[in-house]
Amino acid sequence: MTLDLSPTPPDLPFYQPTGMECGLFETAYENGLPLLLKGPTGCGKTRFVEYMAAVLGKPIYTVACHDDLSAADLIGRYLLKGGETEWVDGPLTRAVREGAICYLDEVVEARKDVTVVLHPLTDSRRTLMIDRTGEELAAPKGFMLVASYNPGYQNVLKRLKPSTRQRFLSISFDFPEPEVEIAVVSAESGLEPGRVAPLVRLAGHIRALSGMDLEEGVSTRLLTYAARLMASNMSVDQAIQVAIIEPLTDEPDVQQALRDLVSTIYG
């Protein structure tokens, strides 16, 4: 496959396509189908959604899911304003009303009642029931539900049920090929490609350790952070220490092993 490394138009968020994901997203949108993005942390899932929303000219409501996120946080609740109670829509409800894109980042982290709310929106009904107000909203043609999660973080207590997964089209993401990752990090950081290349080589070696000494490999996001520090004249060793090694592990032995790996790459 030949990769298109042409620059992103200046009015769009930077994103470097790596396959057929853009066409798949557009087709899902045109057919009113929900989409699930699977892949490791920091591999570009969120940027991809932001890019596609801009390409389609759609507003986007992004929700960073967490342990305490409930269905009410997505749908809305009554709030006290000026001595009176007033209904305030949550981000999912606003997206449905406006025909926008709603993106649930790391959906597996949310509470169980969230998936119950999503089910009617991810089948032929495409409806959102607001129990507190008695409304039943039919999603307009322009509405799209996108969710993401990291399969590597799933466990017995936090797992996306098959009954939920099978309601979505799914695209798997991974870290880009080296030449693509160099182009991405260089464009995002302003560091010349020749200086980014060793960072990407380092990332490849670190990712090979994922699942052994490290829970997960270094993300493209962290590489970009390190490159930005280097572009600001911070030394290579210090930039890698604060942007890559420290975020990846607290274990002194593992940190030293990573510093030794840096020495083999940079000499």
Output the CA angle 139-142-143, nearest 5 degrees. 45
| pLDDT number for residue 2 | 37
CATH class, domain 21-172, is alpha beta
Name the nearest CA neighbour of 72 among 97, 90, 95. Answer: 90
- Domain extents in the chain: 21-172, 178-266
d(CA 154, CA 255): 25
Q: Phi and psi of 167, rounded to 5°?
A: -90, -5
**3-state secondary structure at position 100:** coil
Q: What is the pTM of this model?
A: 0.87
Long-range contacts of 234-242 (CB under 8 A, 24+ apart): 236/262, 236/266, 237/262, 240/199, 240/202
Give the total residue count for the chain.
Answer: 267
Question: First CA to last CA across the chain, in angstroms?
Answer: 34
Joined tokens for residue 248 = 């990846």
The pLDDT tens digits along the chain (267 residues) read: 334 444 445 578 899 898 899 999 999 999 999 999 999 888 999 999 999 999 999 999 999 999 999 999 999 999 988 888 999 999 999 999 999 999 999 999 999 889 999 999 999 999 999 999 999 999 999 999 999 999 876 554 577 888 899 999 999 999 999 999 999 999 999 999 999 999 999 999 999 886 667 878 899 999 999 999 999 999 999 999 999 999 999 999 999 999 999 999 997
| pLDDT number for residue 239 | 98
| pLDDT number for residue 209 | 81
